[in-house]
Amino acid sequence: MPTLLLDRQKCLRNIEKMVLRAAGQQMVLRPHCKTHQSAEIGNWFMDFGIHSITVSSFRMAGYFASAGWNDILVAFPFHPGEVKLLESISEICHLSILVDSPAALPFLNHLSGQVGLYIDIDTGYGRTGVRSEDTELIEQIITKTGTNRHLEFRGFYCHAGHSYRAASRKELDTIFLKSIGDLEQLKSQFKTLSPKLVFGDTPNCSIQEEFGEIDEITPGNFVFYDLIQHALGSCGMEDIAVAMECPVAGRYPSDERIVIHGGAIHFSKDALMNEGRPVFGRLVHRSQEGWAEAEDEVFISSVSQEHGALEKCGELVRKVNIGEPLLFLPAHSCLTVNLMRRYQTLDGKQISTLNG
C-alpha cells in the first residue's frame, strides 16, 4: 500500500527558515495549515513561538481550535451556510473571516461573540477578492462592518495565487511588487483604521527579500514544498520534506515501463509539465538519512485510480523487483497529503490529520 513518508528534520528546517524570514522583516508568520492539515505538525510551529494560523475552511478551523490554537484566520470567503460552525468555533478561539462583498454580512448580525474581519483583495489573480482599485466596494464593506457590533475590521488580505503562473523570476517579481504596492496603498488610504496587511503565497514568501509594510505572511506549502514549488524556484530538491513510498506492481522491460501501486487517489491528478509530459512524482533514492536526489530523472508520467506508470524509465526497469518500494517526491504535496490522510515519519511514527 502506498505510504506518505515525512522527513521531520527537513520539515523543521523549512519551518525554521520561514520563521527567521518573517522575523527578519518584523512580520508575523501566520502559516496556512491546508497543506499539513495536522494538529501534531501544528505543534511543531507552536514550538517555534508561532501563535496564529490560517486555514481554508471552517471545518479545518474547528479541528485546529480543538487542538489549542487561539488565533485562526479562515482564508476562504465567508458564506452564510457556515454561520453555525463559525458561531461554535468562535466560542473557543479568536476567529477571523474573509469577505469580498457586503452581501455576506447580514448573516453575521446575530453572532454571540466577536469575529475579526479581513477584506480579500484581488491584485490580479482573478479568483476571489475585491479588485485593489475598487475602493468604493471596499468602503461599502468597511461601513457595513462598522454597523455590526460583533465584527471588527482588521485589515486587508491577499493571496497572490497568480505567482503559480509566473513563467520567470521577473514575472514573479512583477506580481509581487504590484500586490505589495496595492496593499500598501490601501493601508495608506484607510490609515485611520490601522488596517493590517496580510499576504502570502509560498513562492513569494520563500524568495522575496523585502516585504515593505506587510504585517503578516500566510504561506502554507513551504512546510513540505513539492515539485511544483521546486520548478517555481521556491525551494531546492533537498528541501522537499514528504515522499511517497509505492511498491512496484509491474515491470515491462521491452517498453521501459514500471507500474507502481500509487495513482490518482494517492498523488492526485495534479502534475507539473516537463518537456510536454506531465509529472506526478519524481523518483528519489533511499539514503541513510531518508532519501536523496536520484542521478537519473525518472518520473511518474501517468496515473489512473490506483496505478502510476514510470514510462520511458530506461535501465531502471531491469533493476527493480516486483513489490520493491520506490520513493517519489510528489508534484503537489497539499493534494497528496489530503488524499493520504496520514504520515509516517522516517523513524516509523504515525501522524494523523484532520481526515484520519
Q: Which residues contribute to the site for a copy of itself (CB under 8 A)?
A: 1, 34, 56-57, 59, 76-77, 79-82, 100-101, 103-104, 107, 126-129, 161, 247-252, 255, 257, 259, 261, 264-265, 268-270, 302, 304-307, 309, 321-323, 325, 334-335, 338-339, 355-356
Please identify, using beta-carbon distances, which residue of 113 and 325 lies nearer to a copy of itself.
325
Q: How far apart are CA 57 and CA 75, in angstroms?
A: 7
C-alpha cell at 251: 515491470
Please identify, using beta-carbon distances, which residue of 49 and 276 lies nearer to a copy of itself.
276
Q: How far apart are CA 6 and CA 351, in angstroms?
A: 9
Please identify, using beta-carbon distances, which residue of 187 and 266 lies nearer to a copy of itself.
266
Q: Name the 3-class secondary structure at 29.
A: strand
Query: Is residue 300 within 8 Å of residue 262, measured between CB atoms?
Result: yes
Closest distance between a copy of itself and the C-beta of residue 238, in Å? 25
Please identify, using beta-carbon distances, which residue of 195 and 262 lies nearer to a copy of itself.
262
Please identify, using beta-carbon distances, which residue of 79 and 319 lies nearer to a copy of itself.
79
Closest distance between a copy of itself and the C-beta of residue 200, in Å? 14
Buried/exposed 59-96: b ≥16 CB within 10 Å, e otherwise: ebbbbbbebebebbbbbbbbeeebbeebbebbeebbbb
Contacts of 51 (CB under 8 A, 6+ apart): 69, 70, 71
Closest distance between a copy of itself and the C-beta of residue 128, in Å? 5
Please identify, using beta-carbon distances, which residue of 51 and 318 lies nearer to a copy of itself.
318
Closest distance between a copy of itself and the C-beta of residue 246, in Å? 10
Query: Is residue 159 within 8 Å of residue 201, measured between CB atoms?
Result: yes
Closest distance between a copy of itself and the C-beta of residue 338, in Å? 5
Q: Is 247 exposed, middle or buried (0-12, 13-18, 19+ CB in 10 A)?
A: middle
Q: How far apart are CA 169 and CA 100, in angstroms?
A: 29
Distance of CA 242 to the CA centre of its chain: 14
Closest distance between a copy of itself and the C-beta of residue 123, in Å? 14
Please identify, using beta-carbon distances, which residue of 187 and 257 lies nearer to a copy of itself.
257
Contacts of 16 (CB under 8 A, 6+ apart): 48
Closest distance between a copy of itself and the C-beta of residue 114, in Å? 22
